Structure 1
Amino acid sequence: MIAVRDNYHAFTPEEYFLWEEQQLEKYELIDSQVYAMGGGSVNHGRIAIRLTGLFDAHLGDRNCITGNSDVRINILGTNDYTYPNASVSCDDRDKITSQYITYPCLIVEVLSDRTEAYDRGQKFRRYRQNPMLIDYLLVSSTSIAVDLYQKNEAGDWLIFNYQAGDTIALKSIDLHFPIEQIYRGLNLTPAADSQE
């Protein structure tokens, strides 16, 4: 998904929540401005569904929230709200809010040509403000390629690049799975995602 400036009115979070309820599309709130969220390709949607299903099944009865692209994240310490493609929070503080979560330990963004620079740069800088975040997963929708930014015990972010044949290791929810599990049955030819 990509944020596109839609309106120049400065919104408070309360105005944003009320206003967005009346809209047909989803909008992010960044620096008091709303941005329409663009749609993704079929691969984009299928990958996001596979990941949320995988996380939810793995977590089972654990006291965690698995979020899809309809679950907002409040950027800690700000009035900014984003919609990642998937997220997981096991923090009790997120159980008392109904419109967003604030303390995810895992965030996933499925990449497209239009969103990749934003997801790797400015969006990740915002997400890193959350001390609970451990894993930030960036998933290609056009090739078998996943980048995992993972915070170590010292608080430094390490990057792991996964390709065909690799096993992805998510420290935040203690999950290991083959990368092919995300991509099974997808058409990854360039023409398949030309609309993204």
Structure 2
Amino acid sequence: MGVPQTRTDFSAADYLAWESEQPEKSEFFRGEVFAMGGASRRHVTVSGNVFSALDQAIEGSPCRAYMADMKLRVLEDEAYFYPDVLVTCDPADHRSDLFMSAPTLVVEVLSPSTAAFDRGEKFAAYRRIPSLREFVLIDPEKQSIEIYRRAGHDVWELHDIPPETPLALASLEAEIGWDRLFRNLD
């Protein structure tokens, strides 16, 4: 999450209208608008690696992968986020140009300035999305991966992925190799 804008009384409709006219992306959470900062080379590299691996893994399925410029609406929290990568299998999402609403998988690549929010309030909001089955956090600096899987209606299980172990995504019946996720970080 970035720096709050000066106006904090936006409705979701106000935000969508305002943001469509802005040169930079902003997220919206509980009436506040947050400017998004630029990402590091390592962050962008890992995000790209995840997207390309997922895009290839789900080819031929009803699912599609989207990157950081696609908004995700969390209706239950009146929020709009820009996840680093998301996958949705919902036909209505595939027809939407403005935002996705029914992701199966969300991936956030951590950065020092956003890690606490991504793990905390953002994940709390994501957990309220009924379609979401898995949430992945990737730390490019530590080269670590955590995956949260929905185990019940309000139950999420954390799985730490040991180094060099492929990331198995049960929701998509897909696997991404460790070396593929962290490729080109040198």
1:144–1:163: 8 Å Cα contact kept in structure 2? no
Match of 2:107 in 1: 108
Measure the CA separation in 1 of the matches of 2:147 and 2:102: 18
Q: Which amino acid in the other structure matches residue 17 of structure 1? A: L
Give the TM-score normalised by the residue count of structure 2: 0.93
Match of 1:62 in 2: 61
Match of 1:6 in 2: 5
Runs of 4+ in structure 1 displaced over 3 angstroms? none
Match of 1:184 in 2: 183
Match of 2:46 in 1: 47
Match of 2:147 in 1: 148
Measure the CA separation in 2 of the matches of 1:44 and 1:112: 7
Match of 1:21 in 2: 20
Q: Does 1:86 align with 2:85?
A: yes
Question: 1:163 deviation in Å?
Answer: 3.2
Match of 1:168 in 2: 167
Match of 1:194 in 2: none
Normalized per residue, the structure richer in strand is 2
Measure the CA separation in 1 of the matches of 2:13 and 2:43: 31
Match of 2:75 in 1: 76
Question: 1:20 deviation in Å?
Answer: 1.2
Q: Which moved more, 1:5-14 or 1:74-83?
A: 5-14
Number of aligned pairs?
Answer: 186
Question: 1:153 deviation in Å?
Answer: 5.0
Give the TM-score normalised by the residue count of structure 1: 0.88
1:164–1:180: 8 Å Cα contact kept in structure 2? no
Q: Deviations over 1:62-93 (max 9, x none)?
A: 22231100010000334310011000010123
1:162–1:179: 8 Å Cα contact kept in structure 2? no
2:137–2:146: 8 Å Cα contact kept in structure 1? yes
